[in-house]
A = this chain, B = another copy of it.
Amino acid sequence: MSITVVGSVAFDSITTPSGSRERCLGGAATYFALAASYFTPVRVVAVVGEDFTAAEEAVFAARSIDLNGVERAAGKSFFWAGNYLNSLSEAKTEQTDLNVFADFNPRIPREYLDTQFLFLANIDPVLQLRVRQALPAARLVCGDTMNYWINDHREALLRVLPQMDVLLINDTEARLLSGESNPLRAARRVLELGPRALIVKHGEYGATAYFGEGIFDGAVRLPFRSPALPLSEVVDPTGAGDSFAGGFYGYIASQPTLTPAVFRRALFYGSVMGSFTVERFGTERLQKLSRAEIDARFEQLRQISHLDTQTD
């Protein structure tokens, strides 16, 4: 089943301890779409400017990603510049130019109306809700947000959270959204805000999923912890979270039904796709993977976390 993602397609200038890249293709919807494309067809709803050329289009085309929902507007695409010189865990933003994104009003192509899997990447929660309502056939809605929306647009965010089956955020965002410092209590509080499941990402330590009563037939479910692969070099952390979301949701959309076992494997695929992304700048690594490489790394994740899998 194909996934529709709404979010940013952008250009990023990135500096890390490993080097720099100027104006490379980025944006949450880009990373998400590339990562998910290894599992299932993907359609993108976004806006780009005149600087989005055939070269960028070709990156999506090579992964058969549908760009019919990408509006071409006069002006420049969303631009972000930042560095990770102090810490690979947190970007320092140097410049944000919203450009054509400032007036983004998602335009849903008619042929996307049959969307069953919807991903609301990190954008204004007012737009997230609008897209969700424009796609009433969506039976699984997954979304992201960030501290800016949590702090300054909380009311709008609280309106869209009950529309999400799965919310993906990181530790800091979970604390901020819940007002709780204990991770388990924070998760429970976030689930009370509406999403039926919550995935909290821990960066180099993997992620934890928490389940509310609204998912899996109301059965009470233990949390699930998925590991991250220890990597000898993190070249560029940009897009790791969106790639995680793409691997996670892409795998789910590729499966006949969403069972707890599918959800757990999807978390592993999320970690796998995040681990590939950070090994190169921007989307370099994500553009040229094979399903065999992906599954080999999935197996590696199992081996480093399961008691009885390694050949001893």
Give residues in A with beta carbon < 8 Å to B.
88, 181-185, 187-188, 202, 204-206, 208, 221-227, 230-234, 259-261, 264-265, 268, 300, 302-308, 310, 312
Contact = CB atoms under 8 A, between A and B. Distances in A.
Given A307-B265, A307-B302, A230 B208 contact: yes
A232 to B, nearest CB: 5
A113 B227 CA distance: 41
A230 B234 contact: no
Which interface residue of A205, A264, A265, A303 has the most chain B CB atoms within 10 A?
A205
Contacts of A265: 307
Contacts of A221: 310
A308 B202 contact: no
A268 B308 CA distance: 12
A181 to B, nearest CB: 8
Nearest to A267: B307
Number of copies: 2
Contacts of A184: 230-232
Contacts of A307: 261, 264-265, 268, 302, 306
A183 B265 CA distance: 25
A225 B310 contact: no
B305 A182 contact: no
B310 A260 contact: yes
Which interface residue of A224, A231, A265, A302 has the most chain B CB atoms within 10 A?
A224
Nearest to A200: B230
9 contacts: A185-B233, A202-B205, A223-B230, A223-B304, A226-B305, A260-B310, A261-B310, A264-B307, A305-B305
Contacts of A182: 231-234
Given A182-B232, A182-B234, A260-B312, A304 B225 contact: yes
A183 B208 contact: no
B232 A300 contact: no
Contacts of A232: 182, 184-185, 188
A204 B183 contact: yes
B183 A310 contact: no
Which interface residue of A202, A226, A230, A308 has the most chain B CB atoms within 10 A?
A230
